[in-house]
Amino acid sequence: MSVSRLKTSAPHLIAAMVTPFTPAGDIDRPSLERLVTFLQRGGIDEFFLVGSTGESPLLDESDRLAIVETVRRAAPQAQIYAGVSGLGHRHAVRNAREMQHAGADVAVLMSPFFVALDQEQLVNYCTRVADGSPLPLAVYHHLRMPTPFAVPTVARLARHPNIVALKDTNGGDANRCAEILAATAGRPLRFLQGVEKLVLPTLEAGGHGCVVAQGCIAPHWYRALFTAWQAGHLAEARALQERITGLWTLFTRPEVRQSFNHFLHTLKLPLQQRGVLATTGGALPGIVFEPAFEEMITAFMREHLDVEPAPAAR
């Protein structure tokens, strides 16, 4: 394992970044650079790239590397977490090596796509990737994947010297953080919450931070919550958590949940309206959204986030 710039301080405030695309379907590097600047001005300097919000299953290797290289150039001192999940452990290890060269600090691994494993097989899979990865490895629990990371499995993986964190997108299980912290006591594994409404409860339970897609559009809210929490201003932190939870209600609406692309558009449209992204395009070509859907997003954001439409960036 190579020397890493992995930050040891907690809590970690990490934005799960969207991937900007040009109308031709290429990675939009200028928009990606503006997004990095926007997040840094909002108080976020840790970025999770090539994850589910970043459309990782739809990206080829050159796209993945271009994203990490662009963010590293735009933010030389930032902490970069890069998704390396692929078609088996050899593919994941190869991705980790390439991400290291591109400038990532931490590799992030989900359970295998499509195929279901039992927990012993999941431990074996993650161990093989951790053994071969030149970067520290974070494992990523998400309920959309065929195989969940059970608490005893996380405890076993926490013993591996190259597995340093868990990103936990658990669907809203408020008890899981405490269970994992108890099961991994004495180990340096960091628990990173992936559910927006559980950010403050995670900090209160002793967790180590969060990785949140909503951080892309409201970074200042999360930074203010973390600042209030660290200063001991609990009432202020709880009020901010309520605002964050209220903002997330948009993403639970049936119109947004009808497809993953509708979810991404709900994140990208406010960024385009702020002039951060040039377009709202995604990895899949030819997708068009109903005007009423976009009007709903705009109206909600104006009410909850004070997003005013602005000319698209050029």
User: For 156-198, how does the pLDDT look when each residue is reduced to its tens digit (9 = 90+)?
Assistant: 999 999 999 999 999 889 899 999 999 999 999 999 999 999 9
Q: 84 near 95, Cβ under 8 Å?
A: yes
Mean pLDDT of 280-285: 94
Is 249 a domain residue?
no
With a pLDDT cut of 70, the percent of the chain lying above it is 94
pLDDT at 86: 86
Question: How many domains, the chain?
Answer: 1
Is 154 a domain residue?
yes
Looking at the predicted structure, is the pLDDT value of residue 7 above 80? no
Is 266 a domain residue?
no
Q: 47 near 75, Cβ under 8 Å?
A: yes
Is 269 a domain residue?
no
pLDDT at 126: 98
Structure-model confidence comparison of residues 1 and 116, the more confident one = 116
Can you give the pTM of this predicted structure?
A: 0.94
Confidence band of 311 (pLDDT split at 50, 70, 90): very low
Looking at the predicted structure, is the pLDDT value of residue 1 above 60? no
The residues carrying an active-site annotation are: 140, 167
Is 198 a domain residue?
yes
CATH of the domain at 69: 3.20.20.70
Domain residue limits at 82 = 12-233
User: For 216-231, how does the pLDDT look when each residue is reduced to its tens digit (9 = 90+)?
Assistant: 999 999 999 999 999 9
Is 136 a domain residue?
yes
Confidence band of 314 (pLDDT split at 50, 70, 90): very low
Is 7 a domain residue?
no
Is 273 a domain residue?
no
List all residues 6 or more positions away from 48 whose beta carbon is below 8 Å from its beta carbon: 14, 15, 16, 17, 54, 81, 82, 83, 108, 167, 211
Looking at the predicted structure, is the pLDDT value of residue 310 above 80? no
Structure tokens at 211: 């990785």
Rounded to whole angstroms, the Cα distance separating 93 from 164 reads 16
Neighbour tally for 116: CB within 10 Å? 12
Rounded to whole angstroms, the Cα distance separating 27 from 50 reads 12
